[in-house]
Amino acid sequence: MKLEQWQSAWQQLIAPGAPFEVVTPAEGGPAYFRNAAANLLEAIDVARQHGDREFLVWEQQRLTFTEFFAQVDRLAGQLVQRFGVRQGDRVAIAMRNQPAWLVAFVAIQRCAAVGVPLNSWGLRDELFHGLQDSGATVLLCDEPRLQLLADDLRTLELPSIVVGLSDGQAVPPLCQRYETLLQEPPLDVPAVRIEADDPALILYTSGTTSRAKGVLSSHRAVCQALTALEFQGMFGAMSSPERIGAMMKSGFAPTSLMAVPLFHVSGLHAQFLLALRGGRRVVMMYKWDVDKAFDLIRDERCTQFNGAPVMMQQLLTSPRFGGADTASLFALGLGGAAATSSLLAHLRERKPEAIAGAGFGLTESNGIGAAIGGDQFVYKPGSVGWPLPIVEVRIGDSPHEPLPQGQEGLIWLRSPTLMSAYWNLPQASAETLQDGWLDTGDIGHLDGEGFLYITDRAKDLINRGGEKISAGEVESCACEMPGVIEAAAIAIADETLGERLVLIVRSEADPAPSGEQICAFIGQRLAAYKVPAQVHIQREPLPRNASGKVLKGELKEFLVNR
């Protein structure tokens, strides 16, 4: 039985003396990986051994691991000697995906400073909030972000390093040209002692309605998270040997296409840092473009792509998928937002031999929760997998009074990967972290075989006259209908019922399904009270944040004001 084989492989990996040995403290507290790196700099520096292997491909640039670390060391010397960066200082990054982002992040860790990646999709207010809230001492940015923040940087008197200024372009006050700094002679970076509980990273949550909060993580949390991701990769190989064997026989070098933003855990941890440590080649995209993605997969022989469901849907529905352009593509991963059952089915149909997978995690848990891939994904595609071996999951209103197996409720996590706190927000921290348990805000259940299912967001329930409607359930049902690409269920205030359900649907079909047809389709599959009171149909994509989540606040404002 495959389930028993999977359980055996799992136990082999975490047993005493095994590479991913898990230790459960006698005095209580979360379990942890014994062999995880002590700090993030130690975790990163192991990648120097990959030497002259090619690491990065971006437009016309190609860097080996040796060349990448040479740039890291030069920039770190400049940060310390020219800009006065010291251990514990916050240093912000605001730029789109490019090699300079990766160099900047590692250089910050080389200085034992705290990296503060900012949302490069954000406008001035969000960027300025991150700079001001974090108390950043230096900003590394690209020219478009410099233009957005020019007045604020003068007000804050914040020194900045700018990527991509043209040779003839004047360097603004308080700014240095990134490319010039890399040409300077190397400068020493004094050795520092980094403790496991020292701060390493502040990631701003990609909120959909409220101002982003800074998630502060320790070196221990990030290192345990990286080891958990590596465990899942090894477990996937052991539990799906035929799929792994087919990829190895292909002869293609492991190469990831990176299209998700680096200021999110899925880009930073699961793609960049994991590839860096493992010696995997990375092909970077400045921003997502499905045709450009196919060109890069074909030309660079990419073997792996992880992206938000909307990205995956665009790939799978293209006539270019499944032909010569994707012959090298063996691994496909979903993250950042919930996938519909139709997308999961489409993924299995279009690439049945692929190592497909998904997972569950939050910024507050450094992306770690549960994961599923390969044969397990085929076995239970609607699940997000088994909780990873250092993660405890409890279901219920309180982690101290868990519900029985199979019952649905609020999901709580406990693991060494959890954030230390929200930066400068003690009340919000206390509400989210309770006795070492993280309130995820997600609703779900564990089945009889230990697989975790996510069914909704706790705050994404629509209360229609006392009947609770899962927005995710209605959205997933609507997306099963031919002609519907994506959908968002919105709660609108109603004098009689308290709230009514309005559904916004994107369709490019000609003709598009009518609101009546969509309601009839949903009414045949869900209870009558879950049928939308109103359906709005559009051809334009739904607005999403950087992690792929629909911006329901914007949609609600549109519905109210139109």
String of DSSP letters for 529-546: GGS-SEEEEESSPPPB-T
Helix (H) or strand (E) holding 486: strand 486-494
Number of domains, the chain: 3
Please list the pLDDT of the chain residue by residue as tens digits (562 residues): 589 999 999 999 999 999 999 999 988 889 999 999 999 999 999 999 999 999 999 999 999 999 999 999 999 999 999 999 999 999 999 999 999 999 999 999 999 999 999 988 878 888 999 999 999 999 999 999 999 999 999 999 999 999 998 877 889 899 999 999 999 999 999 999 999 999 999 999 855 445 789 999 999 999 999 999 999 999 998 998 888 888 788 889 999 999 999 999 999 999 999 999 999 999 999 988 999 999 999 999 999 999 888 788 889 889 999 889 999 999 988 876 666 667 777 777 887 888 888 899 999 999 999 999 989 988 998 899 999 999 999 999 999 999 999 999 999 999 999 999 999 999 999 999 999 999 999 999 999 999 999 987 766 778 776 677 878 878 888 998 999 999 999 988 876 677 889 999 999 898 999 999 999 999 998 878 889 999 999 999 999 876 677 888 889 888 887 7
> Do 477 and 509 fall into the same domain?
yes
DSSP H helix total and E strand total for the chain: 19, 29
Which amino acid, residue 95? M
Under DSSP, the state recorded for 48 is: G
Nearest-angstrom CA–CA distance, 16 and 59: 45
Domain closes at, from 390, 419, 435: 390
Would you say residue 453 lies in a domain?
no
> Do 88 and 189 fall into the same domain?
yes
Would you say residue 6 lies in a domain?
yes
Helix (H) or strand (E) holding 33: strand 32-33
Structure tokens that stand for 464 in this block: 């229609």
> Do 186 and 113 fall into the same domain?
yes
> Do 205 and 128 fall into the same domain?
yes
Q: Which parts of 2-135 fold into alpha helices (H)? A: 2-14, 40-45, 65-81, 99-110, 124-134
Structure tokens that stand for 244 in this block: 């792994």
Nearest-angstrom CA–CA distance, 463 and 468: 5
Closest CA relative to residue 363, chosen from 307, 424, 422, 434: 422
> Do 205 and 262 fall into the same domain?
no
Would you say residue 444 lies in a domain?
no
Cβ atoms of residues 227 and 14 within 8 Å = no
CATH of the domain at 103: 3.40.50.980
pLDDT at 27: 84
Cβ atoms of residues 102 and 262 within 8 Å = yes
String of DSSP letters for 438-450: EEEEEEEEE-TTS
Q: Which residue has the tokens 């049928």?
A: 531
pLDDT at 366: 97
Domain extent for 112: 40-212
Is omega for the bond preceding 319 within 30 degrees of 0, making it cis?
Answer: no
Structure tokens that stand for 502 in this block: 């309005």
CATH of the domain at 289: 3.40.50.12780
Would you say residue 414 lies in a domain?
no
> Do 175 and 51 fall into the same domain?
yes
> Do 264 and 352 fall into the same domain?
yes
Would you say residue 413 lies in a domain?
no
Q: Which residue has the tokens 């040779």?
A: 167
CATH of the domain at 472: 3.30.300.30
Would you say residue 327 lies in a domain?
yes
> Do 242 and 185 fall into the same domain?
no
Q: Which residue has the tokens 């062999």?
A: 35
pLDDT at 7: 95
pLDDT at 209: 44
Would you say residue 424 lies in a domain?
no
How far, rounded to the nearest angstrom, does the alpha carbon of residue 464 sit from its chain's CA centroid?
Answer: 33
> Do 71 and 16 fall into the same domain?
no
b/e code 233-268 from CB counts within 10 Å (16+ = b) = bebbbbbbeebbeebeeeebebbbbbbbbbbbbbbb
> Do 477 and 333 fall into the same domain?
no
Nearest-angstrom CA–CA distance, 225 and 227: 5
Nearest-angstrom CA–CA distance, 120 and 27: 43
Nearest-angstrom CA–CA distance, 93 and 101: 7
Bridge-partner residues for 316, per DSSP? none
Domain closes at, from 212, 238, 254: 212
Which amino acid, residue 35? N
Nearest-angstrom CA–CA distance, 69 and 185: 15
> Do 155 and 235 fall into the same domain?
no
Would you say residue 331 lies in a domain?
yes
Give CA angle at 323 (321, 325), nearest 5°.
Answer: 75
> Do 11 and 80 fall into the same domain?
no
Phi, psi angles (nearest 5°) of residue 557 = -60, -40
Nearest-angstrom CA–CA distance, 532 and 432: 32
Q: Which residue has the tokens 């035929």?
A: 242
pLDDT at 455: 84
Which amino acid, residue 91? V
pLDDT at 560: 80
Domain closes at, from 168, 195, 212: 212
